[in-house]
Amino acid sequence: MRIAIVESGGKQYRVAEGSTIDVDRLAFEVGKKFDFERVLLMADDDVIMVGTPTVSEITVSATVVDHVKGPKVISFKYRPKKRIRVKGGHRHFYTRLMIDFIGKPGEERKVEPKNEPVVVAEVENVEAAEEPKVEKQKKASTKDAVKKSATTKPATKSSTTKKTDEK
């Protein structure tokens, strides 16, 4: 598996063939292919090529998959006892890239897919595999017991006596 370290937008990214990465927004249309200008390192199993500062004979080609928004970032400034509360924030825009090829220009390589085959276990007797579900009775919590006891008691009328003025 070939990996490379590329630079885009002043940041460095570790990429592998067949993987996707999110970089700062690029001015390319969806489906457009391009090559990274700055490749800093390329590693292929035992062979490692380190650039000083870049590796000139290696190209990393990518395809623009989508333009997406990042998560919301909220900044909140607060000064106690001074009534200063300032809330602000933003969402960053990213470009999602699919790495197609890492290697020398003109080299023919087939990218290995990252999807691994799913192994499905076969069940011979379906009826034996499904066991009947037994529901457990809930234990009454103390709050439920208090509510029940409060509702089961007969309501007592408050006796109010009227005092009459006798003259």
Give the separation between CA 46 and CA 61, rounded to whole angstroms.
22
What is residue 4's predicted lDDT score, i.e. its pLDDT? Answer: 94
Q: What is the CA radius of gyration of the chain?
A: 34
Locate the domains of the chain by residue range. Answer: 2-68+94-103
Per DSSP, the chain holds a count of helices (H) and strands (E) of 2, 8
Q: Report pLDDT digits (tens) over 52-70.
A: 889 988 999 999 999 999 9
Enter the pTM of the model. Answer: 0.59
pLDDT tens figures, 106-151: 877 665 555 555 555 555 554 545 555 566 665 555 555 555 555 5
Q: What percent of the chain has pLDDT over 90?
A: 51
d(CA 44, CA 102): 10
